[in-house]
Structure 1
Amino acid sequence: MDEEPNDEWENPSCDDNEVLRNYVMRCCVKAIKIENDVKDLQEELRELHLAHKNNLMMLTNIVKDLEKNATQKSQKVFVHVPSEIAAHEVEEIGVEHLLRDVKDTTISTLATKVSFNPYFKSFHV
């Protein structure tokens, strides 16, 4: 879609943005006209650039610190943390009643699973 330059392109008094706007309006069926203040955009871009530059410098420093730490020998130490799993009295009573209800292994497969599971041995009544 090559077009010959017309007066729009050669007119020195015509603003470059206006020429571009006219060309886009001719080429696009549904063009959207967007006008922004260039100084605001430049300020936003400058702020973004500085933020990215600061982030890059911070990441570079982190990588350098990691490289220094990687050269030093590290030792892994296992520490046992004592813990206890317990239930409230109400929960224990509820489990006891449940186990009493499903005690007959001929009726329920749940009773069979529970009776052979070592974790539930302490709950047997």
Structure 2
Amino acid sequence: MNLESPKTTINKSSETVFNFLSDIKNFEKLMPENISKFEVLGEDKFLFALKGMPEIVLKKKEVVPPNKIVLGAAGGKLDFSLIGHISEIDANTSEVYLQFSGEFNAMMAMMIKGPISKFIETLANNMPSAV
């Protein structure tokens, strides 16, 4: 299953956006209002939970400065990745979108598609004011 957030324009350089997303503590600023838990577990790993959902641990898996950051599931039953794609429009403007990718059975995919789509859209929409 592959889902993408809408593209978001941010009035910061791609390097600034990349540096912001590289610091996993900053993901707390992007989280939706219904977050019930956020905890930094290390330099490259954090845990979060949304109300009514299980806790999810994400770990930084790959960085390609200043264009791409890959976070992946760190343990748990589901294997997926959340990829931040950053494109430079000009020296002070960049465009970002998030891609969620994972292998799920049809029933699981049907259950999580809506909540995950809304989640990555919220993260992307919160970026311009957080960076």
Larger Rg: 1
Does 1 or 2 have the higher relative contact order (CA < 8 Å, sep 6+)?
Answer: 2
**Pair in the same fold by TM > 0.5:** no
Higher helix share: 1
* TM-score bracket for the superposition, by shorter chain length: under 0.3
Higher strand share: 2
TM-score (norm 1): 0.18
